[in-house]
């Protein structure tokens, strides 16, 4: 027996109950295959939208650069 007079049985029960609660809490926070599939789908969708936006901005930038270059060339040719 220990100092409290309860013995090891009582402590063992509380410890196993605490471990069971911790395991249940951990299981609730784990991701399932469906969760991972949903995240993968959403991430792929966001990446494709970002790529489309980036491509659009890239074309706008290059059109502006071509316009600026043509303007400079025409200014030099007029003189």
Three-state SS letters, the chain: CCCCCCCHHHHHHHHHHHHHHHHHHHHHHCCCHHHHHHHHHHHHHHHHHHHHHHHHHHHHHHHHHHHHHHHHHHHHHHC
Q: Enter the pTM of the model.
A: 0.49
Rounded to 10 degrees, the C-alpha dihedral 71/75/76/79 comes to 170
pLDDT, residue 56, reads: 95
Work out the average pLDDT over 1-6: 50
Q: Name the band, by pLDDT with cuts 50, 70 and 90, for residue 3.
A: low
Q: Which residue has the tokens 């249940």?
A: 24
Q: Name the band, by pLDDT with cuts 50, 70 and 90, for residue 67.
A: very high
pLDDT, residue 14, reads: 73
Query: Distance between alpha carbon 71 and the CA centroid of its chain, in Å?
Result: 45
């Amino acid at each position: 027996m220990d100092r409290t007079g309860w013995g090891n049985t009582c402590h063992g029960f509380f410890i196993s109950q605490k471990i069971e609660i911790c395991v249940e809490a951990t299981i609730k926070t784990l991701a399932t295959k469906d969760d991972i599939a949903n995240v993968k789908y959403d991430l792929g969708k966001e990446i494709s939208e970002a790529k489309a936006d980036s491509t659009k901005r890239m074309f706008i930038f290059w059109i502006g650069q071509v316009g600026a270059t043509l303007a400079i060339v025409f200014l030099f040719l007029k003189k």
